[in-house]
Amino acid sequence: MNITIGGSGWLGIASIGAFVVTAAACSSSSTPASSPSDASTPEDTGSSSGADSSSGVDSSSGADTGAPPVDGGTEASVADGGTSDGGTGNATLTVMNFLSWCSVTINGGTASTGASVTSSVAVGSTATIVATPAPNSSFQIGPDPWFGVTQNDGGAAAGTDNGSGATETSTATVVVTGNQCVSVCCQEPNNSPTPCPTTNPCP
């Protein structure tokens, strides 16, 4: 079989060949410009990496300044500071026991027939003093055995009597304002031959 191709036929074939070559070239260069590890990777890495701003220093860590203060400051100062009576402390109360004729107690303490009976008492408190005739004696509570006590503003005072004879007691009180002295006398019968003092013997 004979094939005759004219001039225009050769042009058509050449055009087809050029189209095929061009298509092949386009096919080989159609690879996407970006791969799975494209430019979005650095962005993703930057937003989800270990440098996450929500990690690292925890705002609820030991540096939390909201922790309650350690107790023992002011409260400890309010509970232990000063003395229980407002910082005024104690004073010495002295009871002069004339010639040791009385047995004396202060605020329920041990009875004493000493010529001078003392006790440490809180300033501002009211001390209670009880006198009774010295044991095994004929002494007695007279009409005004006390000086320096609250009754009668410190002058000669009767106190509060209870009972009679050798077991009679006389009770007096005094508001303690500092070191101070009161006196008591349990007289001899009829207050003679040696009478009780008529003025306060305290110095």
Spatial contact of 187 and 139, defined as CB atoms under 8 Å apart: yes
What are the pLDDT digits (tens) for 91-140? 999 999 999 999 999 999 999 999 999 999 999 999 999 999 999 889 99
pTM of the predicted model as reported, rounded to 2 decimal places: 0.58
For residue 25, the surrounding DSSP H or E stretch is helix 7-28
Task: List C-alpha distances in Å: 185 to 84, 105, 153.
Answer: 35, 14, 18
What are the pLDDT digits (tens) for 13-26? 334 344 433 434 44
> Does 62 have pLDDT greater than 70?
no
Alpha-carbon distance of 167 to 175, in angstroms, equals 26
Q: Which residue has the higher pLDDT, 37 or 163?
A: 163
Residue 166 is predicted with a pLDDT of 85
Q: Which residue has the higher pLDDT, 161 or 48?
A: 161
Residue 187 is predicted with a pLDDT of 96
Alpha-carbon distance of 90 to 125, in angstroms, equals 9
Residue 23 is predicted with a pLDDT of 38
Residue 88 is predicted with a pLDDT of 72
